[in-house]
């Protein structure tokens, strides 16, 4: 099937469509969706023992890394032990948040019927309550991806990341306070679902107070564990262990921030309006996920450390698919995109992250970017 269409065919599309697929007819959009759905069905019907072995190896690696890291930090007065312990604890926290926690809470491993990997009961090593994260991320973000005014991941409530967001003088400082968000990323995630701007409209202060109690309960446990309990167990090495825990959390926060921001704010990624989803079919939802996401290129270890969010396109197409399968279906998705003359946004971490920083700087200033010439 030729993806190019005539102007008359395009005119038959009755609902508005974002720039990235205006060359497709309604029939071609549905055909694209059917091919993407076939990729999903093929993988989901083939899940089995090799997938179970994979996630259990990751669980063991994460647990042993944490045990070894915390043990070495008890010898933190020795510089080699402190460096090794901090590195292993950082690795453990990255694996737990990215490859385990994020993916488990998406329901990717529910089919195993393993209580330790059940999305309804799993609670991660993070200050954000799992229940609130699943609402703000699994529901709001994955349903309304990149829709300005609906998806609060667009700017996280403090950054201007789209031309469609009204400019305010406070945004002049966003290239600086962006790095505060990066360093404290788990705390930004913890407060993300509060949606204070809704209070007085369709949300009450009673709901906010209930959420704050959940955040306090969860975050206080994290603070107690990392900044009091384990340092106290180190006895005279309290400060060394405390410094190791602070550093490990900072490393995890910065890494998570970089990977996640490269998933939706690089050059070429589209933002949408609520008009774009009027009458949206499953096929058009797939197209919006494709055009609103971008990938990172790297080796196997790199993809594992990102929780396979380096395959952000595949993740947004198939959020409940075990993430380690994204690498094998990436070429299939890319081939389908080429067939329909659709963009497949991918690049190295330095390149993609550089375009994110460029966006943050550009949108800190007033004005809008001129639309690209067709």
* pLDDT tens digits along 315-338: 999 999 999 999 999 999 999 999
Cα 286 to its chain centre, rounded Å, is 17
Tokens of 347: 């690049």
Distance CA 108, CA 138 (A): 12
Tens-place pLDDT, residues 261-308: 999 999 999 999 998 899 999 999 999 999 999 999 999 999 999 999
Distance CA 333, CA 121 (A): 32
Please check the confidence at residue 252 and state whether its pLDDT lies above 50: yes
Number of alpha helices (DSSP H) and beta strands (DSSP E) in the chain: 17, 2
Cα 363 to its chain centre, rounded Å, is 21
Please check the confidence at residue 6 and state whether its pLDDT lies above 80: no
| Residue 239: band (very low, low, confident or very high) from pLDDT cuts 50, 70, 90 | very high
Q: Is the dihedral of CA 110, 114, 115, 116 positive or negative?
A: negative
pLDDT at 195: 85
Tens-place pLDDT, residues 203-219: 889 999 999 999 999 99
Please check the confidence at residue 373 and state whether its pLDDT lies above 70: no
Closest CA to 243 of 106, 93, 89, 123: 89
Q: Is the dihedral of CA 161, 164, 166, 167 positive or negative?
A: positive
Question: What is the pTM for the complete model shown?
Answer: 0.91
Q: What DSSP letter does each residue of 205-223 carry, written as one string?
A: HHHHHHHHHHHHHHHHHHH
pLDDT at 23: 86
| Residue 200: band (very low, low, confident or very high) from pLDDT cuts 50, 70, 90 | confident
147: which strand partners?
Answer: 272
Three-class DSSP category at 263: coil
Please check the confidence at residue 255 and state whether its pLDDT lies above 80: yes
The rounded mean pLDDT for the chain is: 91
Distance CA 235, CA 337 (A): 58
């Amino acid at each position: 099937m030729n993806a190019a269409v005539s102007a008359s065919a395009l005119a038959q599309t009755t609902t508005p469509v974002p720039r990235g697929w205006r060359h497709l007819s309604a029939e071609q959009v549905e055909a694209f969706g059917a091919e993407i759905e076939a990729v999903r069905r093929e993988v989901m019907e083939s899940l089995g023992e090799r997938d179970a072995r994979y996630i259990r190896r990751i669980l063991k690696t994460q647990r042993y890394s944490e045990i070894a890291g915390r043990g070495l930090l008890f010898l933190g007065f020795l510089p080699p032990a402190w460096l090794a312990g901090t590195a292993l604890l950082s690795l453990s926290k990255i694996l737990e948040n990215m490859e385990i926690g994020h993916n488990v809470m998406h329901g990717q491993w529910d089919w195993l019927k393993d209580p330790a990997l059940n999305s309804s009961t799993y609670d991660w090593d993070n200050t954000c309550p799992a229940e609130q994260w699943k609402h703000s991320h699994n529901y709001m973000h994955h349903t309304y991806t990149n829709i300005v005014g609906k998806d609060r991941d667009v700017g996280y409530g403090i950054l201007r990341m789209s031309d469609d967001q009204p400019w305010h003088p406070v945004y002049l400082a966003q290239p600086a306070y962006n790095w505060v968000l990066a360093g404290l990323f788990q705390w930004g995630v913890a407060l993300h679902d509060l949606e204070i701007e809704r209070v007085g409209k369709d949300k009450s202060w009673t709901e906010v107070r209930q959420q704050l109690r959940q955040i306090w309960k969860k975050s206080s446990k994290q603070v107690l564990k990392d900044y009091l309990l384990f340092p106290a167990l180190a006895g005279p090495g309290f400060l060394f262990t405390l410094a190791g825990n602070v550093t490990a959390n900072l490393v995890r926060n910065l890494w998570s921030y970089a990977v996640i921001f490269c998933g939706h704010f690089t050059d070429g990624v589209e933002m949408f309006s609520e008009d774009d989803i009027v009458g949206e079919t499953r096929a058009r939802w797939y197209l919006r996920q494709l055009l609103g996401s971008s990938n990172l290129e790297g080796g196997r270890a790199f993809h594992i450390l990102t929780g396979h969010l380096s395959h952000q396109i595949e993740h947004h197409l198939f959020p409940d698919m075990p993430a380690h399968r994204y690498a094998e279906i990436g070429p299939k998705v890319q081939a389908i995109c080429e067939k329909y003359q659709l963009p497949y946004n991918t690049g190295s971490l330095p390149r993609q992250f550089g375009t994110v920083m460029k966006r943050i700087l550009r949108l800190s200033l007033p004005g809008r970017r001129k639309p690209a010439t067709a």
